[in-house]
A = this chain, B = another copy of it.
Amino acid sequence: MKIFGIDPGSERTGYGCVEQSGSRHHLVLCGSLAAPATATFPERLKHIHAGLVALLAESQPDCVAIESIFHARNVRSALRLGHARGVALLAASEAGLQVAEYAPAEIKRAVVGYGRAEKPQIQQMVKLLLGLDRVPSPHDAADALAVAICHLHNSTGSVAETVRRYRAPRTTVRSWREYRPS
């Protein structure tokens, strides 16, 4: 099962594709799409859309996972984010893929085991779960991988297991941040 996660943004859109084989997660690809700083807003949207269309064709996922958003700093930022999210959903729909949406707290719970986890915790957990040698960069890519992992956990019913396995580190966040996978 292969999931393509998207973390949309009008400045930078993160993406990350994760494959599950057995109980292991593998990184297929990840990164972020950013249009040139001189691009107009419609050009930015075209850049995001064209990038995602190409990446979806390349990675051939079974499903797309994206963060559901019901709040934003303000109406203006919600509008801008909506534009980017709109072209991301369009790319998924054009590829004939189902879109699964997860609330931020669900993603955190599925990945870290705690719905109010901080960004660095999520990044470290993504690195750990995918067996990477470093935290995926930029952070939009890590966020996109997190939502893909969230969907894998939800669709394979292993949320509870993940939570159980990784509950201990949560109690010692300070030292956990320095955790290195063997």
- The residues of A with any CB-CB pair to B shorter than 8 Å are 40-43, 45-46, 49, 69-72, 74-76, 78-87, 89-90, 92-94, 99
Contact = CB atoms under 8 A, between A and B. Distances in A.
A contact patch SS: helix
Contacts of A78: 72, 75-76, 78-79, 82
Contacts of A86: 45, 82-87, 90
A79 B66 CA distance: 14
Contacts of A80: 82
A74 B75 CA distance: 7
Q: What's the number of copies of this chain in the assembled complex?
A: 2
Nearest to A49: B90
> Which of A72, A76, A89 has the most chain B CB atoms closer than 10 A to its own CB?
A89
Given A82-B82, A87-B90, A99 B42 contact: yes
Contacts of A69: 79
A42 B92 contact: yes
15 contacts: A40-B93, A41-B89, A42-B92, A42-B93, A45-B90, A46-B90, A46-B94, A75-B75, A75-B78, A76-B78, A82-B83, A82-B85, A82-B86, A86-B87, A87-B90
Nearest to A96: B46
